[in-house]
């Protein structure tokens, strides 16, 4: 059909694509790096370590030494 355009993504039409930014604006945005990812990774690592400490002191230490 002549009037139908089959776009594989929404970026296929111009109204769904944002205007390009300059290299200075991109550098300003990326200057601080992935702070949020490091924050989430730090929280998950801390929770994992606290869980390990809880197992160690609440489960393994009360049982005493092996042998």
Token output for 64: 């005493």
Q: What local confidence, expressed as pLDDT, does residue 54 receive?
A: 96
Greatest extent of the chain over all pairs of C-alpha atoms, in Å: 82
| Average pLDDT, integer, range 46-62 | 94
Q: What is the pLDDT of residues 23-42, one digit of tens each?
A: 998 888 888 888 889 999 99
d(CA 43, CA 14): 40
Q: What is the pLDDT of residues 14-24, one digit of tens each?
A: 777 778 889 99
Residue entry with tokens 């002549």: 2
Q: How far is CA 24 from CA 7, 15, 17, 20, 35, in A?
A: 32, 24, 20, 12, 20
Is residue 2 over pLDDT 70? Answer: no
Token output for 2: 């002549």
Domain limits of the chain? Answer: 10-63
């Amino acid at each position: 059909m002549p009037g139908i355009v089959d776009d594989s993504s929404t970026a296929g039409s111009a109204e769904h694509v944002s205007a390009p930014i300059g290299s200075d604006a991109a550098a300003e945005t990326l200057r601080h790096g992935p702070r949020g990812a490091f924050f989430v990774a730090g929280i998950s690592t801390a929770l994992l370590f606290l869980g390990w400490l809880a197992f160690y002191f609440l489960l393994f230490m009360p049982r005493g030494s092996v042998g």
